[in-house]
Chains A and B, each alone.
Chain A
C-alpha cells in the first residue's frame, strides 16, 4: 500500500467544515414550513445544539400510507453539569414538557433532562424557555464534550461540593465558544443581537471526531460510572481535604453488531493530578483526541480506539509532552457501588435528602403514579435542589426539616413515594434507554418494555429470596450503550424487535465489563436462561458476592479484563 493515502473524511466531517461553526442552514431549516424535518446536513449540526431529529417510529408506515411525511419531532437534551438543578429550573422543565414536549421529562443516565416530541416550530420557544432559567442545551449532543457528570453524593460534604464545582468549571471550559447557538435560538428573545464569534481555541472549526464524555466521582460511590467515560476523574480525599484526582482515560461503551473491531472499553487510570491542574489535563486530552482521532470512520473515532491504536504509553507520553509535566502515580481508591441508595438520609432536624426512584427516569403522570404532579407541587415550596443521578433517579437535596413531612405526604398522595419494600432491588437499580418509539438507532424496545420484563423476573427473584440482592440489570434497544448495558451484571442489548443479546459478569461497582452469554433471546428465552442462574446464585453465593462476580467465579462467563477481550 502506498504510504500516503489522503484521508477520506466522513460525511459528518464535511458537514462540520461547511457549517461555519455550527450554523449550517439551520435558520432556513427552521423557517421551512413544508416539512417538520431539517435540511439533511443540519440534522448533524443540530446535535451540537443539543437536539436530535427523530420520528415517531410507531407511526412511520401508517403515515407513509397517508401520504404524510414521518411525524418528525425533536429530542432536546438540557445540560445539567453535575446533575444539580434548582426548584425554579425544575418547574420550568416541567412546564416546557407540557407546553412543547410530550408531557414527560426524561432524566438521563448522564444527568441531563430530555424533552421529547418537540415539533420543529416549537424548538426556539423551548430553548428560550430553559435559557430563561440559566440552562442550555449546547453540546448536549454532537462531537464535543457532553454534559459533565458528577456523582450526586447525598451525604453532603465540603469535598463533594468542591468536586461538583470542578465539574461545572470543566463543563464551562469545554463548552463551544461559537455564538451560533445564541444567534439561532435566542436572538429573537434577546435585547440586543449577538456579535458572531468564529473561533474555537480548543476544538478548532471541525470540533472533535466524535462525542466526548467526562465524569467525576467521589469514592466509594460510582453512580456516575466514570470508567465508561472518555475521561473519568476519581476524587482523592484525605482527612476531609480534596487532594486531587486520579485520571482515567479511554472509556466508552458503544459498539456495532457485526464489527468486532468495535467494542466497549473501560477507562485506564493513568495517574494522579492535583485539583488545580484538572482542567488543563482535560483540555490536553481533548486536544490529543482532536488531533489523533479517526475522522474517516465514525465507528472507530472515539478516544478509546485512538488510545488502543496508538498504545496507552504513547498516548500518555503525548499528554505529558503537551502538559509539560508528568502526572504523578495514581493514588489508591475504592469504589463499592454504582447504584443509588434510596430513601431519606441526613439530619431530621437540619437538612436532609431524599433519593427517589424514578422508573426508567421517566417523569410523568399515569393513573396511580403521578410523580410529575408530585414533583411539580414540591418544587413550589422546596428550598433545596433537584439532583439527577447517573442512574436516572432523582435526589431532593437540602430539604428543610419543616418540609420533610409535607414532601413525604405529597409523594404518597400521588403514589410516587419510594416504597422500597414493594420493589425488588433488581427493579430499583434497573436502567433502560429511550429506544422505541423515538430513537432512530433502536432495534428493539427498552424503556417501554423493561418494566414488563421485570414483572416476570421479579417473580423469579422473589421465589429465590433475592428481592434485596443488588443485581444491576440494564437494557438498551441497540448496542450503542446509552444505558451502559455492558456494565450491567445483566445486560440486555436489542438485536431485533423482541430479541436481545444477554451479557453477564460485570461487577457491581462499574469496574469490569460483562460478556456475551446468549444471543437473540426472546422474553421466554431471557427468563429461561436467567432462572437457573438466580437459583444457583441464591444457593451458592458467597457472603457479599455480587451476581456478576458469582457468574464469573462459577464459569458461566469469562471475566472481561479489557475492552480488547470483550468479544473473546
Chain B
C-alpha cells in the first residue's frame, strides 16, 4: 500500500521514498517534512514487529520535537479485536504530541481496507499538492512514506489467483484427535511468487448449511436482493461469499445491539468487554440472530450489520525452488460442537471439505518480510513449531537444501501423539538422513503421563541451544501465540540464565536483544 501511495505521488510529480519502519533510523524523523504513515495493529493492540522500535522511540523521552513535520496516518486493523487500530492511534497521537501537524485526520481501516485506503491516499496527496508544493523540493529532504504493509502484488484480495488444487492429503493417522491437511495448489501460469515464510491468503466461502441457518434465524428469503459495493445480489450469495458468518465479533454485536434495543442483555454485552469475550466464544451469526431476534430485520440491514468476510492467511509450507509452480499449505481443520450446532472454521473446512482436487481456490500472497531465512546461508537456524506451526519450516528446510545453504538446521516439533500426529514425518526423516536437518527433536505431549512440549525439549538441550545462539543462530517460532510463543520465550530465557550463568534480568535482556537483532522471530497466531 505504501508503494501504491508512492506511485500515486510520483504520478502527480511528488517525489516520494518508501521506507520500511524496521530499517528506518528513528532520529531521521526530525529531518522529514511530510510523512504518510501506514501501520497495522497486532493481537492485543500491539505494534507489528517491524514497528516496535519506532513505536517505542516516539513514546520515549529521547524522541525529538517535530515542529516541521506534516503527517497523515492510515491505521489498518480488524474491528473484531478489542484494540482496533491501536497502533495507528498511538502513532497519530505521539506525532501530534511531538509537535507534528496533521495533514488529515487519521483514517482507520477494517479488513476490507482497499477502498478507504485508496481514498486516504488520494486525499493526502491532494493536501500535499495544494498546501505544501513549494516545500516538496527534490533538493531538500524528500517526503518519506514510512511504511509497514504487504508488498504490492499483481494478485490481491480484489484480484486473487484461482489456484487449481493439485492434492489434498490428510496428514494425521487413524485415530488422531487432530485433522490436518497438506494441500498443494497450482501456480502455473500465474507468475505468482513467494518466499518461505510468506503466507498465502485464501478467500473462502461459507458453507451452505450455515448460510441456511442464518437465513432461518433472520427469517429472510435467500433470493432477496441486497446492494453491496455497488452491485445487487441475492442475500444468500452475499452471505455465502461476502460476509463473515462463522465468527462473531465485537463490532457486529455493537451494530446489532443498536437494531435490537428491546434486548437489554445484548446491550449489556455490547458495552461490557469482560462479558463479551465469553459470549463470543463458540458462537456464530446464526446463534446471535436466534438468541436475540429482531422484528422487521431487512436483508439490507443484515448485510450492513455483518462484517465483510476476510481472507484467511496460512503460512506457506513449501519452497518454490523445491516445488516450482506450486504452493503448499498445512491446514488444521477447525471443528467443534457449540451451542447446539456442529461448527466448522470457515476457511479450513472450505479447504478440507468443499474444494476437491481439480477445483480452484482464490488466493493471493501476503509477504512477511520478517519471518525470513537468514540472508547468509551459513547462518544456523533453530525452528520451533507446534501443530500446523510446522508449515513454514517445511518451506525453510526445502529452500535451504535447494540452495545448498551451509548453515545447520535444527527443528523442534510438537503435537499430541507420535503415531498419528508427526506431521511430514517421512520427509523430516529423509532430511535428517541427507543432512537437510542437522538435528530433529520432537515432543508428543500426550504419549506419556507427564505432558511434554517443544519448550521442554529446548530446555533439555539448553547447552546446545545456547551454543548455537552464541554462534549466531537465528531462532524461529511458529504456532499458537499464547501457548507456544510465551512458553518458548520463558524457556529461552531459562536457557540463557542457565548456560550463561546470568541473573534473570540479564537473561531477559539477552533474549530481548535477540529479538531486536531479528534473530528471534515469531509467526504466532
Q: How far is the CB of A389 from chain B (nearest CB, A)?
A: 35
On whether the beta carbons of B429 and A66 are closer than 8 Å, the reply is no
Q: Provide the B409-446 mask, 1 if CB < 8 A to any CB of A, else 0.
A: 00000000011101111111100100000001110100
Bound complex: CA A35 to CA B429 (Å)? 8
Q: Which of A59, A66, A119, A121 contacts B169 (CB 8 A)?
A: A66
Residues on A with C-beta less than 8 A from B483 are: none
Residues on A with C-beta less than 8 A from B442 are: 33-34
Q: Contacts A66-B172, A121-B447: A36 and B427 contacting too (C-beta < 8 A)?
A: no
Q: Which of B170, B172, B423, B429 contacts A69 (CB 8 A)?
A: B429
On whether the beta carbons of A68 and B425 are closer than 8 Å, the reply is yes
Residues on A with C-beta less than 8 A from B174 are: 59, 62
Q: Contacts A67-B424, A68-B426, A69-B425: A34 and B172 contacting too (C-beta < 8 A)?
A: no
A71 at interface (Cβ–Cβ under 8 A)? yes
A65 at interface (Cβ–Cβ under 8 A)? yes
Q: How far is the CB of B321 from chain A (nearest CB, A)?
A: 20
Residues on B with C-beta less than 8 A from A67 are: 169, 171, 182, 423-427
Measured CB to CB, the nearest residue on chain B to A64 is: B426
Measured CB to CB, the nearest residue on chain A to B423 is: A67
Q: How far is the CB of A439 from chain B (nearest CB, A)?
A: 20
A63 at interface (Cβ–Cβ under 8 A)? yes
Residues on B with C-beta less than 8 A from A119 are: 418-419
Residues on B with C-beta less than 8 A from A71 are: 173, 419
Bound complex: CA A62 to CA B174 (Å)? 10
Measured CB to CB, the nearest residue on chain B to A66 is: B171
Bound complex: CA A406 to CA B171 (Å)? 50
Q: Provide the A46-64 mask, 1 if CB < 8 A to any CB of B, else 0.
A: 0000000000000100111
Q: Contacts A67-B182, A67-B424: A36 and B171 contacting too (C-beta < 8 A)?
A: no
Main SS at interface, chain B: mixed
On whether the beta carbons of B419 and A36 are closer than 8 Å, the reply is yes
Bound complex: CA A35 to CA B427 (Å)? 12
Bound complex: CA A226 to CA B419 (Å)? 41
Bound complex: CA A62 to CA B169 (Å)? 10
Q: How far is the CB of A99 from chain B (nearest CB, A)?
A: 12
Chain A residues within 8 Å of chain B by Cβ, number: 16
Point out which of B172, B424, B425 has the most chain A C-beta atoms below 10 A from its C-beta: B425
Residues on B with C-beta less than 8 A from A62 are: 174
Q: How far is the CB of A119 from chain B (nearest CB, A)?
A: 7
Q: Which of B169, B427, B440 contacts A65 (CB 8 A)?
A: B169
Bound complex: CA A65 to CA B426 (Å)? 10
Residues on B with C-beta less than 8 A from A69 are: 425-426, 429
CB-CB contacts below 8 Å: B145-203 with A? 169-174, 182
Residues on A with C-beta less than 8 A from B424 are: 67
On whether the beta carbons of A34 and B432 are closer than 8 Å, the reply is yes
Q: Which of A59, A65, A68, A121 contacts B422 (CB 8 A)?
A: A68
Residues on A with C-beta less than 8 A from B422 are: 68
Q: How far is the CB of B237 from chain A (nearest CB, A)?
A: 36
Measured CB to CB, the nearest residue on chain B to A35 is: B429
Point out which of A63, A66, A119, A121 has the most chain B C-beta atoms below 10 A from its C-beta: A66
Residues on A with C-beta less than 8 A from B419 are: 36, 68, 71, 119
Residues on B with C-beta less than 8 A from A33 are: 418, 441-442, 444
Q: How far is the CB of A386 from chain B (nearest CB, A)?
A: 31
Measured CB to CB, the nearest residue on chain A to B452 is: A33
Bound complex: CA A35 to CA B428 (Å)? 11
On whether the beta carbons of B173 and A63 are closer than 8 Å, the reply is yes
Residues on A with C-beta less than 8 A from B169 are: 65-67
Residues on B with C-beta less than 8 A from A35 are: 429
Point out which of A34, A35, A121 has the most chain B C-beta atoms below 10 A from its C-beta: A34
Residues on B with C-beta less than 8 A from A36 are: 418-419
Bound complex: CA A62 to CA B172 (Å)? 11
Residues on A with C-beta less than 8 A from B423 are: 67
Q: Contacts A33-B418, A36-B419: A66 and B170 contacting too (C-beta < 8 A)?
A: yes
Residues on A with C-beta less than 8 A from B448 are: 121
Bound complex: CA A388 to CA B490 (Å)? 56
Residues on B with C-beta less than 8 A from A63 are: 173
Bound complex: CA A68 to CA B171 (Å)? 8
Bound complex: CA A35 to CA B426 (Å)? 9
Residues on A with C-beta less than 8 A from B170 are: 66
Bound complex: CA A68 to CA B427 (Å)? 9
CB-CB contacts below 8 Å: A51-96 with B? 59, 62-69, 71
Residues on B with C-beta less than 8 A from A64 are: 426
Q: How far is the CB of B398 from chain A (nearest CB, A)?
A: 13
Bound complex: CA A136 to CA B425 (Å)? 34
Bound complex: CA A62 to CA B425 (Å)? 14
Residues on A with C-beta less than 8 A from B429 are: 34-35, 69
Q: How far is the CB of A65 from chain B (nearest CB, A)?
A: 6
Point out which of A33, A62, A121 has the most chain B C-beta atoms below 10 A from its C-beta: A33
Bound complex: CA A121 to CA B419 (Å)? 11
Bound complex: CA A119 to CA B173 (Å)? 15
Bound complex: CA A35 to CA B444 (Å)? 12
Bound complex: CA A71 to CA B419 (Å)? 7
CB-CB contacts below 8 Å: A1-55 with B? 33-36
Bound complex: CA A59 to CA B424 (Å)? 16
Q: How far is the CB of A188 from chain B (nearest CB, A)?
A: 14
Q: How far is the CB of B454 from chain A (nearest CB, A)?
A: 12
Residues on A with C-beta less than 8 A from B173 are: 59, 63, 66, 68, 71
On whether the beta carbons of B440 and A34 are closer than 8 Å, the reply is yes
Bound complex: CA A36 to CA B425 (Å)? 11
Residues on B with C-beta less than 8 A from A34 are: 425, 428-429, 432, 440, 442
Point out which of B173, B423, B442, B447 has the most chain A C-beta atoms below 10 A from its C-beta: B173
Residues on B with C-beta less than 8 A from A65 are: 169
Bound complex: CA A68 to CA B425 (Å)? 5
Q: How far is the CB of A128 from chain B (nearest CB, A)?
A: 15
Measured CB to CB, the nearest residue on chain A to B424 is: A67
Q: How far is the CB of B28 from chain A (nearest CB, A)?
A: 49
Q: How far is the CB of A56 from chain B (nearest CB, A)?
A: 9
Bound complex: CA A35 to CA B430 (Å)? 12
Q: How far is the CB of B69 from chain A (nearest CB, A)?
A: 54
Q: How far is the CB of A121 from chain B (nearest CB, A)?
A: 7
Q: How far is the CB of B50 from chain A (nearest CB, A)?
A: 34
Measured CB to CB, the nearest residue on chain B to A72 is: B419
Q: How far is the CB of A248 from chain B (nearest CB, A)?
A: 45
Q: How far is the CB of B168 from chain A (nearest CB, A)?
A: 11
Measured CB to CB, the nearest residue on chain A to B421 is: A68
Bound complex: CA A119 to CA B418 (Å)? 10
Residues on B with C-beta less than 8 A from A66 are: 169-173
Q: How far is the CB of A58 from chain B (nearest CB, A)?
A: 10
Point out which of B423, B426, B441 has the most chain A C-beta atoms below 10 A from its C-beta: B426
Q: How far is the CB of B432 from chain A (nearest CB, A)?
A: 7
Point out which of B418, B428, B444 has the most chain A C-beta atoms below 10 A from its C-beta: B418
Bound complex: CA A34 to CA B426 (Å)? 10
Q: How far is the CB of B190 from chain A (nearest CB, A)?
A: 26
Q: How far is the CB of A526 from chain B (nearest CB, A)?
A: 32
Bound complex: CA A244 to CA B169 (Å)? 66
Residues on B with C-beta less than 8 A from A68 are: 171, 173, 419-420, 422, 425-426
Residues on A with C-beta less than 8 A from B425 are: 34, 67-69
Bound complex: CA A35 to CA B170 (Å)? 20
CB-CB contacts below 8 Å: A229-244 with B? none
Measured CB to CB, the nearest residue on chain A to B457 is: A33
Q: What are 23 residue pairs bridging A and B, where the CB atoms are less than 8 Å apart in the complex? A: A33-B418, A33-B441, A33-B442, A34-B429, A34-B432, A34-B440, A34-B442, A35-B429, A64-B426, A65-B169, A66-B169, A66-B170, A67-B169, A67-B171, A67-B182, A67-B424, A67-B425, A68-B419, A68-B422, A71-B173, A71-B419, A119-B418, A119-B419
For the complex of A and B, the 8 pairs showing the least CB-CB separation, nearest first, are A67-B426, A67-B424, A68-B425, A68-B173, A33-B442, A66-B171, A69-B425, A69-B426
Q: A34-B428, A34-B432 are in contact. List 13 more A-B contacts (CB 8 A).
A: A33-B441, A33-B442, A59-B173, A64-B426, A66-B170, A67-B423, A67-B426, A68-B171, A68-B419, A68-B420, A68-B425, A68-B426, A71-B173
